[in-house]
Amino acid sequence: MRILIVEDNNELAGLISRGLAASGYELDVVNGLGDARLALAGVGYLALILDLGLPDGDGMALLRELRAKEEPIPVLILTARSGLDDRVAGLKNGADDYLVKPFAIEELVARLQAILRRPGQLLGRSLSLANLTYDTESRQVFIGGEPRLLSARELTVLEILLRRQGRVVPKKAIEDHMFGLTGEVASNAIEVYVSRLRKQLDAFAATVEIRTIRGVGYLLSEAK
């Protein structure tokens, strides 16, 4: 699933991106508030990692805007501001966590995963339907209790559909999560990945089905 990183230090943004990508996350990186607002308006992100000292303003302003609009996206502030007053202000303004630079990438990943496990966020670590279970942290799929290997793209599609099981997921929403702001998307890319995932699920005897809702998107449900 896709994370938005708002960080104006390119070297640090690259470090964060590599660390999160190694844990299975898809990423977009922007370096200012204006680009962050545009990104958030166009893509449904899993979470936001937010620096405060940005070239075009204070990241705290963006946090307040999101919470004033009752946007539920989890926000992890990542900043050099280490004072108690700063930390308290960040949490009071609606941040889910506050991490001070310098930091270890392992701690950042662990804190992000902890945020996403909280009730009301993303349904915890494990997602299940029928005889299929998906561990969102290890990105491991189990079907009938047996571990099964899927490609990274197949896992991404499966996770998106599992998180909204029983509901139609628009094709555009899948494209946004998989390719974000800059990825080039072939016209039939989503159809290809869904087709491959269907074949894999059938081969592993998963008792789930992916239905195509013509002109809209896809729906994952228990097989009838």
Domain ranges within the chain, ordered by starting residue: 2-117, 126-222
Specify the CATH class of 126-222 in words: mainly alpha
Name the strands in the sheet holding 126-129, side by side, starting at the edge strand that comes first in the sequence: 126-129, 132-135, 140-143, 146-148
% of residues, the chain, pLDDT over 90: 63
Determine the pLDDT at residue 184.
65
Beta carbons of 57 and 33 less than 8 angstroms apart: yes
Q: Give helix then strand counts, H and E, for the chain.
A: 8, 14
Rounded to the nearest angstrom, the gap between the alpha carbon of residue 5 and the centroid of all alpha carbons in its chain is 11
Beta carbons of 115 and 1 less than 8 angstroms apart: no
CB atoms within 10 A of CB 144: 13
Name the architecture of domain 2-117: 3-Layer(aba) Sandwich (3.40)
Mean pLDDT, residues 143-150 taken together: 95
Determine the pLDDT at residue 122.
47
**What's the chain's average pLDDT?**
89
Tell me if domain 2-117 and domain 126-222 are identical in fold.
no
